[in-house]
Chains A and B, each alone.
Chain A
């Protein structure tokens, strides 16, 4: 936590954008410690985002910080595997593997097809495929992968109902993502949208459209995607 609060990252690092405002005032300390949240203009508040943006300019403009939240949990709800959720994150994943990072796939619904991954810019030899027998094992595997810091991003698929206490499980994922510095992505069905979640960013995806359900300092609205 001290290192993050000091606010210095090497420029050109592929994952972390430079953070403005390194003065250690009391307000900044409270914001870094997540005691208060900025309602708007969160990029000054030290919220880290993945460098390079999402790949969709309309989405970049609407998201706080102009990109995916780094070291935090993002939830994407969609109607199914074809619902356009994965294509939403493809540009960012391609950028991560190009820099040499590993992507973890925990309990995917089908096999990620290597030739298609390669065509989209993801290196197949940097994908870690983890198969789990049930949801509990899948969540455990995701937590391990996030906490270890070995993967730059971890993608997991879960059902509407999660085993055990739901908010506890999601909060553990959030903490693990913060501890390991990895980007956590959880894909869930649309019906999970009514349930509360501690995720930092919540999106609802449909083919060609995306709606922000929850983000720091944003408002829910639909918009169309053009890469």
Chain B
């Protein structure tokens, strides 16, 4: 029975498990004078380089801090005082995703079923998970974390990571930086778990495992990750139980195995995560970029109360703003001006536009109108301009041939009408300009409504059918009419022509009316819409004028 010899692994591999450190550069002397003893010269020799993917990969001198937020799901909810658990649907049943401290003390744990949690703590507040709110909270934290490092990457919903190698000198060391980070996060109401490692994935593993001791050298990475459980690699729960069945419980067990066999068993993605955690392959992260805004300040050189000079300076700033917007193909709808004085608090003026714009002429027109309404309290020494959020604004293509026909004006609400509306509003106030809409209500004073110009039209209903004549002008408030010699009097006797039209409505919202409407004519043949109350004092009122 020869032949079938059990295939065994190459002897060299079995005898000498490959060192876990990745390909290492030639040993360097530690930089003297470095304020931080972070880096130890790697000890392995180039000969025992492990043939991993991209075998020439050198781990870059990076230091990542992972901010894990295990209770983020609970922290985004408004505090209630009651113990809270957040549930989400997973594999067909609702189970707890996160719980706060009070619920944890009662025994509630992530992974418990919803009914089980309620059985443990009857007064538990159970809320559905809000993934969008969590993602927004992570983004806000990323904004905040930009003060620690320019390279921030979001990893919703678990947390975010920062690359802090360049900021260590500023903060005076890794320890003070981590302490500030943690204190700031706690003040913001979060319960952070920080992990520090040369790669972002390794930092995440450390944060999930709760190891807050920083791992600062790639040489120590393997040793730090080795004893940790496999589930901290964020593998699928099924994969973790399969690995446990194979007898692989710790990361060191995984790292010891040959690559091709392991990757066939656990899949490519899990292998990639393992490689990234151990520093064997690069771990690129998408950097978080805050949305751009425009901000500019111009010094007037001297104190001045002359608005024309202020306007001219602002015109220069608006020119650079429109260039900035043009380069990004964006427009803005809001502008914030600040006029700074020497001894008084700055005057802040907000300018709003009806639609996103970026042309210099249009922005300047609205700014000019708005400035005309500003009363200066002190001479201005500096003007500042800040734009609102940027909005996409596509440029309309120009036509090849010059326009030979002038379009009939006012037929479409093209750019002319919104510009007109915003210019009028800049001078007269936002409430002074509006459009009209008919409302289906029997009461005349409620049958119309103001509306935003170019908004959606009102409803046309069959209420119009069967109504009497309606006047073109409606008085804001019905005017009381006097009677003389038994006839109605309004600068002359009125004669009733048509009517009565009875309108009774509005008992349900307190505006109960019960009136008889008539059309009255005076001696100059002008027609008026008058009514008489049917209840109470039965007085006569003038409500509208026919034009």
| Stretch in A53-61, A149-157, A158-166 touching the partner | A149-157
Asked if B470 is an interface residue, CB under 8 A from chain A, the answer is yes
Among the listed A13, A111, A180, A181, which residue makes an inter-chain contact with B448, where contact means beta carbons less than 8 Å apart?
A: A111
Report the Cα distance A111→B435, complex, angstroms.
11
- B376-413 vs A, CB cutoff 8 Å, 1 = contact: the mask equals 00000000000000000000000000001110111111
The segment from B17-25, B271-279, B416-424 found at the interface with A is: B416-424
B495 CB to closest chain A CB, in angstroms? Answer: 14
A81 within 8 A of B: yes
Question: In this assembly, does B438 line the interface, its C-beta being within 8 Å of a C-beta of chain A?
Answer: yes
Residues of B within 8 A of A137 (CB): 427-428
- B524 and A141: CB pair below 8 A? no
Interface: A24 (CB within 8 A): no
A129 on interface, CB distance cutoff 8 Å:
yes
Q: How far is the CA of A8 from the CA of B470 in the complex (A)?
A: 42
Contact A82:B527 (CB < 8 A) given known A124-B437, A150-B417:
yes
B15 within 8 A of A: no
Nearest-CB residue, chain B, relative to A209: B525
**What is the interface residue range for chain A against chain B?**
35 or more
Closest Cβ neighbor of A149 among chain B residues: B409
A126 to B, closest residue via Cβ = B435
Q: Are A113 and B423 in contact (CB under 8 A)?
A: no
- Is residue B476 contacting chain A, with contact meaning CB distance below 8 A? yes
Contact A125-B420, Cβ < 8 Å, known A80-B526, A87-B472, A119-B470: no
Whether a CB of chain A sits under 8 angstroms from the CB of B336 is no
Given A82-B526, A151-B420, also A124-B427 (CB < 8 A): no
Q: Considering the chains assembled together, what is the distance between the CA atoms of A133 and B475 in angstroms?
A: 18
Residue pair A181, B408 in contact (C-beta under 8 Å): yes
Most interface-central of B410, B412, B456, B471 (chain A CB within 10 A): B410
The answer to whether B464 touches A150, judged by C-beta atoms less than 8 angstroms apart, is no
Is B344 an interface residue, CB under 8 A from the partner? no
Q: A45 to nearest B CB, angstroms?
A: 19
B471 to chain A: which residues have CB within 8 Å?
A: 113, 116
Verify B436–A127 contact, CB threshold 8 A: yes
Q: Which of A90, A101, A109, A124 contacts B411 (CB 8 A)?
A: A101
* A33 contacts partner chain B, Cβ-Cβ < 8 Å: no
For A182, give its contact among B410, B450, B524 (CB under 8 Å). Answer: B410
Q: What is the chain A residue whose CB lies nearest that of B521?
A: A207
C-alpha spacing A99/B410, complex, angstroms: 10
Q: Which of B419, B437, B457, B547 has the most CB of A within 10 A?
A: B547
Query: Which residues of B are at the interface with A, using a C-beta cutoff of 8 A?
Result: 404-406, 408-414, 416-417, 419-421, 423-424, 427-428, 431-439, 444, 447-451, 453, 455-458, 460, 464, 467, 470-476, 524-528, 544-547
| Chain A interfacial positions (CB closer than 8 Å to B) | 3-4, 8-10, 13-16, 79-87, 90, 96, 99-102, 108-120, 123-133, 137, 140-141, 144-145, 148-153, 180-182, 206-208
21 pairs across A/B with beta carbons < 8 Å?
Answer: A79-B524, A79-B526, A84-B526, A84-B547, A101-B410, A102-B410, A110-B476, A113-B444, A115-B444, A115-B464, A120-B472, A129-B434, A130-B433, A131-B428, A131-B431, A144-B423, A145-B424, A149-B416, A150-B409, A152-B409, A152-B411
Add 8 more A-B contacts to A109-B473, A116-B470 (CB < 8 A). Answer: A15-B411, A83-B526, A86-B472, A108-B473, A128-B420, A137-B427, A145-B424, A181-B409
